Amino acid sequence: MKDKLKTYYKRGTEELKKDNIRAHKLTQEFNSTDMEEVEKKEAVIRKLFGSVGRNASIEHNFHCDLGYNIHVGKDFYAGYNCTILDIAEVIIGDNCMLGPNVGIYTAGHSIEPKDRNKSGYAMPINIGNDVWIGGSCVILPGVTIGDNSIIAAGSVVIKDVPSNVIMAGNPAKILRDI
């Protein structure tokens, strides 16, 4: 797993704008492709993401910032309305499932009000193998989720999750070991 480096960025730089437009065009193409055109949908995701394992499946209404910072392993599944803000890298292992309305957010902004909207920071998110993230969960910048863990529906994950646990709540806390 990569170190949790906080990367700072200026909102609206020409390079970010160009990369963001590219990602928006590809997500628009993905979301407007007929659900029965599985090969076409997969081709778009392979063009959008940094890397994709075999048997990746993403439901309608997917959104991201850049796309190329997203890396998913084999047998990945994301439910409807998944949003991944990938200003920093998002690495998702093999056999992972995301329920509907999951948000994975690498980006954040200063708590100081002056110029908050002009720049921000990003921290990578790492999700291990065999992880299940329930519907309407939010994963915040810098979080690592260990192998085999489950994040219960509606949880907000603000800190690292060890392997082999069930976490739930806002903020998410360990309920029990698996």
Q: Which residues are part of the catalytic machinery?
A: 109
> What does the alpha-carbon distance between residue 168 and residue 151 come to, in Å, rounded to a whole number?
6
Ramachandran quadrant class, 55 (left: phi over 0; alpha: psi -120 to 50; beta: rest): left
Q: How far is CA 92 from the centre of its chain?
A: 8
The answer for residues whose C-beta is within 8 angstroms of residue 142's C-beta and 6 or more apart is 4, 6, 123, 124, 125
> What does the alpha-carbon distance between residue 113 and residue 69 come to, in Å, rounded to a whole number?
28
Strands 150-151 and 165-169: parallel
Q: Please, are residues 164 and 173 in contact by the beta-carbon 8 Å criterion? A: no
